[in-house]
Amino acid sequence: MGRIAAKQTYIPTLLRLFRQFGYEGVTLAKISQATGLGKASLYHHFPGGKAEMAAAALAEVDLWLETSILPILSSKVKPIEAFELMCQEVSLFFNKGENDCLWAVLLLEQSSKNLFDSQINRAFSRWIEAIANVLITAGANEIAAIQRGEDAVITIQGALILCHGLKDFTPFQRVIKRLPQQLCQDI
Amino acid sequence: MGRIAAKQTYIPTLLRLFRQFGYEGVTLAKISQATGLGKASLYHHFPGGKAEMAAAALAEVDLWLETSILPILSSKVKPIEAFELMCQEVSLFFNKGENDCLWAVLLLEQSSKNLFDSQINRAFSRWIEAIANVLITAGANEIAAIQRGEDAVITIQGALILCHGLKDFTPFQRVIKRLPQQLCQDI
DNA sequence: GTCTATAAAAAGATAGAC
DNA sequence: GTCTATCTTTTTATAGAC
């Protein structure tokens, strides 16, 4: 197995660990146990150490956005249908609200050097812009469209936080179900 | 200065550190530097170590909820006025969106033992219930009222995340301004 | 490509003087 | 109540055998 393919094998585990415990909360011991690899082997695949492992997890989320979300929003279907497909993917990715969002985890930690901030900034911006473009194409005012894109991200991120606080994931499912209509309201 | 009074002196600093870096991201070295106290002195005030220091910071947020938010929602003013006062306090506490929320930070970290989960759960529940009670008193349906309370928390938490991602705090101010009307809509 | 062993640094915590 | 010094454990990271 080539090095790139080998790395791919461990990335879902890395993503799970970093979004669950945060950057500082993940230790090489935890990673070693979760992957079944010794520490030295981890450094073979990720010479940059923990920072490179977290970067790989973050890249996986970027890839999800690029391949599972943005294409839907660039397709020619009606806005309401695009948003329904988007919400379906979101619900799947976050396991109906039970998964944390790696973006939020890394942002809130503000770990020493803000290693990942610009990458996360770009991801948020691209998502918001893609939602706004759907609405603009449908005739919406540009400023209102961008605000709705922001509202969508706010709703998703806020619902994930609330649900983890309440240990009740029904609010996430409720707001996700409402979101497509909300985004198209009065457009 | 008595021990309790002395502790009080350092709590704002502790709150700032823990909400900025998270539980795992805060080190005793950082606390020592930020407070100007040596490590041993910190243990004099907080024999329970880092966990007790984080608990003190969290208690400060609880106190804010109890003294600055819940009384407003128990007062006899009109719902729209109560929510406007609430949002004013929220904006102040989070410095117009620039401060992180300690609840969110600690929740997302899921640090080993979930030390603070039940406390945060109770805080969210109390806040939601207080908002719902305002609306129920004004004649709203109970289930709808609770959902609006959830929506308020979702909006606040989500906006804080988004703003930190975008490094732009205007969305927080926008949704906070809109929130009172939104909560009273069609009630 | 994985391992054992080990180093080097950082972090949490304590003892005891003042 | 604060300090210096020290201890213990954890964590990151590397060397080198297989």
With CB atoms and an 8 Å threshold, state whether A108 touches B22. Answer: yes
CB B110 to CB A158 under 8 A?
A: no
Q: Which nucleotide is nearest to B48 (CA to C1')?
A: C13
Task: Tell me chain B's radius of gyration from C-alpha atoms.
Answer: 18
Q: How confident is the model at residue A110 (pLDDT cuts 50, 70, 90)?
A: confident
Between A52 and A113, residue with greater pLDDT: A52
| A100–B112 CB contact, under 8 Å | no
pLDDT score, position B114: 86
Ramachandran region of residue A185, left (φ > 0), alpha (ψ -120 to 50) or beta?
Answer: beta
The reply to whether A41 has its C-beta less than 7 Å from any atom of strand C is yes
Strand D footprint at Cβ < 7 Å? A 26-29, 39-40, 43, 47, 49-51; B 1-3, 6, 36-41, 44-45
The pLDDT-based confidence of A2 (bands split at 50, 70, 90) is: low
C-alpha to C-alpha distance for B107 and A98, rounded to whole angstroms: 12
Q: Residue B65: which of B10, B107, B26, B121 has the closest Cα? A: B121
Interface contact A25-B20, CB threshold 8 A = no
**Shortest distance, CA B1 to any CA of chain A (angstroms):** 34
pLDDT of residue B29: 98
Interface of B with A (CB under 8 A): 20-25, 100, 103-105, 107-112, 117, 120-121, 123-125, 147, 150-151, 153-159, 161-162, 164-167, 171, 174-175
Please state at what angle helix B102-109 crosses helix A3-25, rounded to 10 degrees: 140
Rounded to whole angstroms, how far apart are CA atoms B6 and B16? Answer: 17
A1 C-beta less than 7 Å away from strand C: yes
CB within 7 A of strand C (chain B, 37-66): 39-40, 43, 47, 49-51
Question: What's the DSSP call for residue A66?
Answer: I
Beta carbons of B20 and B100 less than 8 angstroms apart: yes
Task: Encode pLDDT of A41-76 as tens digits.
Answer: 999 999 999 999 999 999 999 999 999 999 999 999
CATH topology of domain A51-184: Tetracycline Repressor; domain 2 (1.10.357)
Q: Which CATH class is domain B57-184?
A: mainly alpha
Enumerate the domain spans of chain B: 57-184
Query: Quick one: average pLDDT of A87-104?
Result: 98
Can you tell me the distance from the alpha carbon of B4 to that of B27, in angstroms, rounded to the nearest whole number? 23
Query: Max Cα separation, chain B?
Result: 58
Q: Please, which residues have CB within 8 angstroms of residue A5's CB and are 6 or more apart in sequence?
A: none
> Whole-angstrom Cα distance, residue A162 to residue A164?
5
pTM, rounded to two decimals:
0.97
Per-residue pLDDT, averaged over A13-39, amounts to: 98
pLDDT of residue B21: 97
**Residue B68 DSSP symbol:** I
> In chain B, which residues have pLDDT < 70?
1-5, 112
Question: Does the pLDDT of residue A99 top 60, yes or no?
Answer: yes
Strand C bases, protein C-beta under 7 A: 1-6, 10-16
User: Average pLDDT for residues A78-86, to the nearest whole number?
Assistant: 98
Q: What is the pLDDT of residue B7?
A: 81
pLDDT at B3: 54
Is the shortest CB-to-strand distance from A6 to strand C under 7 Å? yes
Q: Do residue B112 and residue A25 have CB atoms under 8 angstroms apart? A: yes
Q: What is the pLDDT of residue A1?
A: 47
Give CA angle at A88 (A85, A94), nearest 5°. Answer: 140
Cα A34 to Cα A4, A12, A25, A28, A76: the distances in Å are 19, 11, 14, 10, 42
For residue A52, the tally of other CB atoms under 10 A from its CB is 16
Best of A117, A161, A176 to substitute, by most chain B Cβ atoms within 10 angstroms, is A161
Calpha distance B108→A164 (Å, rounded) = 8
Are residues A172 and A87 in contact, defined by beta-carbon separation less than 8 angstroms? no
Determine, for residues A104 and B108 on separate chains, whether the beta-carbon distance falls below 8 Å: yes
pLDDT digits (tens, 9 = 90+) for A140-179: 999 999 999 999 999 999 999 999 999 999 999 999 999 9
Residues in chain A: 187
Which pair of tokens denotes residue B69? 């938010």
**Mean pLDDT, to the nearest integer, of A123-136?**
98
